[in-house]
């Protein structure tokens, strides 16, 4: 009996992974591999999209989490995209195939196509419930914008970041507010997100403006180094990528070697040994950035035992990145810098901020205390702490109501004409002072019969009572 021959061993494709090299070519992920902790150790990365081949030989154990009571589906009928994304981040460092940028991280996946429809906010909410502060959510989705109307499913023109959908935007806000890093593909719609079409939105939903920043890291796609097949200029905007001031950082937009598809090799009929040399778009770019985020979060957590705030990590990715260049399109069409993991001083981030406790001001009426905290930035934060279990003090409410009622009664008791005259005198005097005629001297609020017309705000007239008394004397 002839035994079937074992599948051929997979070669090592890691030299093709130039996006892991040192800056400026890559994100400098390899520099983190020599450190004591495994890259991304202690961090969980959650990928949100349609489907994956979780049995691929080059993946660790990955948990699929399905929101309760939902039935997942795959409208595209392909597992290659999700498998390629996971390969960039967590592929095993086993000397064959490819190696993930943060191969020490854990991974879970959450499908977004549930009960026959795309329910991204449900998927994000389920992920938030599972993750802890410092973990990473990667959103590998895009949505049709106003300019995509009437176009076919294979035409990506006019596609936008997923937070264009209000429910998804609000779910992202919740995730970031819970200390979770959210990495979001900018989309392959070739759109300027600073266009008034997207910044002036009906219903006050303009997610790409500074005042509506969700806190997510939005990633554009760039050209790549010539040594790996670049066309025009490395780090310049790729034609298909969306762009604008809201984008934070960039990643390789094509030529990414990872798992899936099988154009590089496919030794098993079930696709579990498939590899590609040309994954791309903002999908590949955002997976690359998610790997960089997991590396930095893991290093910070190992140094401090605490998670890194999403806003701080995003700012450091941008400030330490390799700048965008002009190519076919000018650098003013922003996709942001390329992350440089080795350029971020994790030791500097590890120092906890000192603060000083300031004055504590109690407010017995509303049973609250206002506390001032002084930070070294410099900045002052004022916090008001309420006791929601107890209503405002009854006696305090009554005292406040009595004072307000007393003021109202006194004001109503004064004749309306008298109040108007006093208001007129004040305005007249202020006007004369502004013109430099005379200093303003407030008059008495008493209205006796002996007041002159000047005191009442009217010009003095000859033949008045004062003149008659003088003549009699």
Q: pLDDT tens digits, residue range 384-411?
A: 555 555 555 555 555 555 555 555 544 4
**pLDDT tens for residues 297-351?**
999 999 999 999 999 999 999 999 999 999 999 999 999 999 999 999 887 775 5
Q: How confident is the model over 76-83, as a mean pLDDT?
A: 97
* H or E segment and range at residue 297: helix 281-304
Residues contacting residue 21 through CB under 8 Å, at least 6 positions apart: 28, 30
Flag whether pLDDT at 68 surpasses 50.
Answer: yes
User: 419 φ, ψ to 5°?
Assistant: -65, -40
List of E strands, 171-273: 181-185, 217-222, 249-252, 256-259, 265-266
Question: Chain centroid to CA 136: how far?
Answer: 13
DSSP state of 360: E
Q: What is the mean pLDDT of residues 205-212?
A: 93
**Which residue has better confidence, 6 or 125?**
125
Name the least confident of 78-82, 254-258, 465-469.
465-469
End-to-end CA distance of the chain: 147
Q: 161 vs 426, which has greater pLDDT?
A: 161
| Nearest to 221, CA basis, from 318, 85, 338 | 338
In terms of Cα–Cα distance, which of 294, 239, 375 is closest to 39? 294
User: Which candidate, 142, 157, 151, places its Cα nearest to that of 192?
Assistant: 157
Token digits of residue 76: 């595209």
Strand partners, 390: none
CA distances to 32, 81, 187, 318 from 238, in Å: 28, 20, 12, 19
Q: Note whether 92 and 101 are within 8 A (CB).
A: no
> For the residues 124-141, what does the mean pLDDT come to?
98
Q: What is the full DSSP assignment across 403-444?
A: HHHHHHHHHHHS-HHHHHHHHHHHHHHHHHHHTTSS---PPP
Selected residue with higher pLDDT from 194 and 456: 194
Whether 461 has a pLDDT exceeding 60, the answer reads no
SS3 content of the chain, % helix, strand, coil (to 5): 30, 20, 50
444-456, pLDDT tens digit by residue? 444 444 444 444 4
Which of 183-187, 283-287, 448-452 is least confident?
448-452
The pLDDT value recorded for residue 347 is: 74
Would you place residue 95 in the very low, low, confident or very high pLDDT band (cuts 50, 70, 90)? very high
Query: Mean pLDDT over residues 252-256, rounded?
Result: 98
Percent of the chain with pLDDT over 70: 71
Average pLDDT value over all residues in the chain: 83
Structure tokens of 354?
């000192």
Is pLDDT of 102 > 90? yes
> What whole-number distance in Å separates Cα of residue 338 and Cα of residue 149?
32
Candidates 108, 178, 174, 184; CA nearest to 139 is 184
The pLDDT value recorded for residue 427 is 44
Dmax over Cα atoms in the chain, in whole Å?
Answer: 147
Counting residues of the chain whose pLDDT is more than 90, the rounded percentage is 66
Candidate ranges 32-46, 126-140, 451-465; pick with highest mean pLDDT: 126-140
Would you list the DSSP string of 25-61?
TS---HHHHTSSSPTTTT-EEEEEES---TT-TT---
Instruction: Provide the CB-side half-sphere exposure for 9 (13 A, CA).
Output: 5
- What's the CA gap between 127 and 48, in Å, rounded? 9
Q: Could you tell me which residue, 3 or 96, shows the higher pLDDT?
A: 96
Q: List the structure tokens of 28.
A: 């400098």
């Amino acid at each position: 009996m002839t035994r079937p021959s074992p599948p051929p061993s997979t070669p090592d494709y890691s030299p093709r992974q130039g996006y892991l090299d040192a800056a400026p070519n890559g994100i400098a992920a390899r520099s983190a591999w020599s450190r004591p902790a495994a890259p991304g150790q202690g961090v969980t990365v959650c990928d949100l999209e349609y489907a994956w081949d979780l049995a691929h030989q080059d993946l660790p154990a990955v948990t699929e989490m399905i929101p309760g009571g939902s039935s997942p589906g795959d409208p595209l009928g392909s597992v290659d995209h999700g498998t390629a994304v996971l390969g960039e981040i967590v592929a095993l460092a086993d000397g064959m195939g490819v190696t993930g940028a943060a191969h020490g991280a854990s991974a879970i996946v959450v499908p977004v196509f549930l009960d026959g429809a795309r329910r991204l906010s449900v998927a994000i909410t389920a992920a938030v419930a599972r993750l802890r502060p410092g973990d990473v959510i990667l959103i590998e989705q895009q949505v049709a914008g106003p300019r995509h109307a009437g176009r076919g499913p294979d035409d990506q023109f006019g596609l936008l970041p997923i937070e264009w959908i209000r429910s998804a935007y609000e779910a992202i806000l919740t995730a970031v507010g819970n200390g979770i890093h959210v990495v979001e593909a900018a989309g392959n719609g070739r759109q300027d997100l600073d266009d008034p079409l997207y910044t002036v939105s009906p219903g006050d939903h303009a997610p790409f403006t500074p005042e509506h920043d969700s806190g997510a890291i939005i990633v554009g796609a760039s050209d790549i180094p010539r040594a790996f097949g670049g066309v025009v200029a490395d780090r310049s905007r790729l034609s298909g990528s969306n762009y604008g001031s809201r984008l934070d950082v960039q990643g390789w937009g094509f030529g990414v070697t990872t798992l899936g598809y099988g154009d590089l090799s496919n030794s098993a009929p079930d696709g579990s040994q498939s590899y590609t040399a040309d994954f791309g778009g903002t999908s590949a770019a955002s997976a690359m950035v998610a790997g960089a985020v997991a590396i930095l979060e893991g290093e910070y957590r190992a140094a401090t035992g605490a998670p890194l705030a999403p806003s701080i990590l995003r700012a450091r990715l941008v400030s330490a990145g390799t700048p965008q260049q002009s190519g076919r399109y000018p650098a003013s069409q922003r996709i942001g810098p390329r992350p440089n993991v080795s350029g971020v001083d994790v030791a500097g981030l590890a120092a906890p901020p000192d603060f000083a406790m300031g004055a504590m001001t109690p407010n017995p009426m509303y049973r609250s205390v206002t506390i001032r905290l002084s930070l070294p930035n410099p900045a002052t934060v004022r916090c008001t702490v309420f006791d929601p279990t107890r209503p405002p003090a009854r006696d305090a409410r009554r005292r406040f109501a009595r004072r307000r009622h007393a003021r109202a009664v006194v004001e109503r008791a004064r004749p309306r004409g008298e109040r108007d005259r006093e208001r007129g005198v004040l305005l007249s005097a202020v006007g004369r002072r502004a013109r430099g005629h005379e200093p303003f001297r407030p008059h008495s609020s008493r209205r006796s019969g002996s007041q002159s017309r000047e005191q009442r705000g009217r010009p003095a007239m000859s033949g008045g009572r004062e003149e008659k008394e003088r003549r009699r004397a």
